[in-house]
Amino acid sequence: MKKKMKLRKKIAIVFLIFLLLCAGGVYVYAAYYFSQHFYNGSRVNGMDCSYKTVAQVKSEIVNEINKYTLTITEMDDKTETITAGQIKLEYIDDNKVDQLMEAQQPVLWITSFGSSKNFEMAANTSYNESGIDKVIKKLDCFNSDNIISLQNAYLKENETNFEIIPEVMGNELDYEKAKTLIVDAIAKGKTEISFVDEDCYLKPTTYQDNEELIAKRDSLNQLAATAITYNFGNDRTEEINWSIIKTWIPKDENGDYIKNESDQYAVDSNLVKECIAGLADKYDTYGKPREFKTFYGSTVTLTKGSYGWQLAQGEMSEHLLNGILNNAIETKDASYSKTANSHSNNDLGSTYIEISIQNQRMWCYKDGEVIVDTPVVTGNTSKGWDTPSGGVGIHDLPSRTEFGSEIYKTGGSHGCVNTPFDAVEKIYNNVKVGTPVVVY
């Protein structure tokens, strides 16, 4: 029995030694195996590398790079892609995978079971840098047909006012910024970027709520509302409004109306004076020829005289300029340096005196009615004392008993208009200083 027990013990020891040798052999083999293969649970850049050799991992990296796609998110949730093939993306073996394998401790292979090992490494790649611009510019977002250019908010001048045209955001990209973002993503192996999140779109510099733009609009609208109307009588008016005023204000190279040092729009005072001079040329009657319908119904041309309306140009120019600068809206009678009785009937109105040298007769009209119709004697023509067409006296002459006919040619006055006493008296009692006298 003792011999049997000893034999069994020997066999058990031998078997145990055999098992230990087998286990050791397996461990040594596994250690050798994991000197060339990655541990179970190993991941490189998220890729499962369990039991793979360096060459296999590199092959997998190449495959992954060949499948590389960069997805670009654009405005309005649109997306575009750039693929590895487009940019000729290639893997460059920089031995980093080898280094990961060398850092692995094969004899500790058994500790890898039940755990995982993640390795992060930047895969060294190259791409066709000289052709990257061509690839980027082929993206739809850089196609000119698809680009809506941005536009700053600006003032639009209408016929009678100004309005702010809002900015246009557009979808125009900052090319250099977008390119930098793409190149950086490719270099780092990123698969997604966003032009929106990275603020690659060009933006306006002036928006519709810009305080300076609003202030400019409001001040110009005040100016554009300016309307100064001058009344020249007899239902004749002239309005100086924006359509005229805007031609008197110079603009800068940007088309903006220029202001002076007082922060007022630089209205050209010389052009204001020219405007008033034009109105004077149109409406002044003082000293100008005029057609006159005589008592007999015929028409004569009066070429001389010191009667009529004459604008006070200096006063009106100053008024108009100040009115523009103060955005006035008003109606005003024109200012005159010379005045007449009326703006109707050749400025004569309905009360005036008419003297015909040829017919040696005088008429006095009051409120449109003839109140005096009398013969007269005018200046002696034989002595060169002709009655001038204006600026003479009308008076009686007790020594003269006859009037009219052709007395004036040889027996006329010194130039005054000799008139029967009763006629002179009636005229004197019915007219006042300033009553127009027409002599022809």
Model confidence at 104, pLDDT cuts 50, 70, 90, reads confident
Note the pTM of the prediction, 2 decimals.
Answer: 0.69
In a domain, 430, yes or no: yes
Is the pLDDT score of 122 beyond 60? no
Mean pLDDT, to the nearest integer, of 73-101? 90
Is the pLDDT score of 391 beyond 80? no
Residues 6+ apart with CB under 8 A from 271: 247, 248
Q: 418: how many CB neighbours lie within 10 A of its CB?
A: 25
In a domain, 298, yes or no: yes
Q: Are residues 322 and 243 located together in one domain of the fold? A: yes
Q: Are residues 334 and 231 located together in one domain of the fold? A: yes
Comparison of pLDDT for 159 and 117, the residue scoring more: 159
Residues 169-183 pLDDT 10s:
999 999 999 999 999
Residue at which a domain ends, from 288, 316, 338: 338
Is the pLDDT score of 34 beyond 90? no
Is the pLDDT score of 100 beyond 90? no
Q: Are residues 279 and 377 located together in one domain of the fold? A: no
In a domain, 347, yes or no: no
Q: Are residues 366 and 271 located together in one domain of the fold? A: no
Cα–Cα distance between 91 and 170 in angstroms, integer?
39
Cα–Cα distance between 309 and 263 in angstroms, integer?
38
Q: Are residues 332 and 264 located together in one domain of the fold? A: yes
Out of 4-18, 191-205, 268-282, 391-405, least confident range: 4-18
Mean pLDDT, to the nearest integer, of 210-226? 96
Mean pLDDT, to the nearest integer, of 203-220? 96
Q: Provide the number of structural domains found in the chain.
A: 2
Mean pLDDT, to the nearest integer, of 127-138? 93
Residue at which a domain ends, from 338, 373, 396: 338
Q: Any bridge partners for residue 354, and if so which?
A: 363, 438
In a domain, 161, yes or no: no
- The tokens describing 415, both together, are 């130039």
Is the pLDDT score of 23 beyond 70? no
In a domain, 81, yes or no: no
In a domain, 249, yes or no: yes
The CATH number covering residue 423 comes to: 2.40.440.10
Mean pLDDT, to the nearest integer, of 354-369? 96
Cα–Cα distance between 321 and 323 in angstroms, integer?
5
3-state DSSP assignment of residue 37: strand
Q: Are residues 310 and 258 located together in one domain of the fold? A: yes
Instruction: Provide the domain limits for residue 329.
Output: 225-338
Q: Are residues 286 and 388 located together in one domain of the fold? A: no
Is the pLDDT score of 121 beyond 70? no
Given this model, what pLDDT does residue 426 score? 97
Mean pLDDT, to the nearest integer, of 87-106? 85
Cα–Cα distance between 349 and 158 in angstroms, integer?
44
Q: Are residues 334 and 229 located together in one domain of the fold? A: yes
Given this model, what pLDDT does residue 306 score? 86
Return left, alpha or beta for 390; rule: phi > 0 is left, psi -120 to 50 is alpha, else beta. Answer: left
Out of 54-58, 124-128, 193-197, 239-243, least confident range: 124-128
Is the pLDDT score of 120 beyond 70? no
- CA 111 vs. chain centroid, Å, equals 75
Cβ 238 vs Cβ 229: under 8 Å: yes
Comparison of pLDDT for 224 and 35, the residue scoring more: 224
> What number of H helices and E strands is found in the chain?
12, 23
Q: Are residues 324 and 245 located together in one domain of the fold? A: yes
Residues 286-334 pLDDT 10s:
989 999 999 999 999 998 788 999 999 999 999 999 999 999 999 999 9
The percentage of the chain sitting over the pLDDT mark of 70, rounded to a whole number, equals 94
Given this model, what pLDDT does residue 114 score? 57
Cα–Cα distance between 18 and 14 in angstroms, integer?
6
Cα–Cα distance between 201 and 175 in angstroms, integer?
9
Give me the phi and psi of 198, to 5 degrees please: -90, 10
Given this model, what pLDDT does residue 169 score? 93
Q: Are residues 368 and 321 located together in one domain of the fold? A: no
Residue type, 438: V
In a domain, 414, yes or no: yes
Residues 145-166 pLDDT 10s:
999 999 999 999 999 999 999 9
Given this model, what pLDDT does residue 38 score? 84
Residues 245-297 pLDDT 10s:
999 999 999 899 999 998 999 999 999 999 999 999 999 999 899 999 999 99
The percentage of the chain sitting over the pLDDT mark of 90, rounded to a whole number, equals 68
Model confidence at 216, pLDDT cuts 50, 70, 90, reads very high
* Residues constituting the chain: 440
Q: If you search the block for the tokens 């306006």, which residue do you land on?
A: 204
Q: What is the mean pLDDT of the chain?
A: 90
The CATH number covering residue 235 comes to: 3.10.20.800
Cβ 269 vs Cβ 324: under 8 Å: no
- The tokens describing 139, both together, are 């993206």
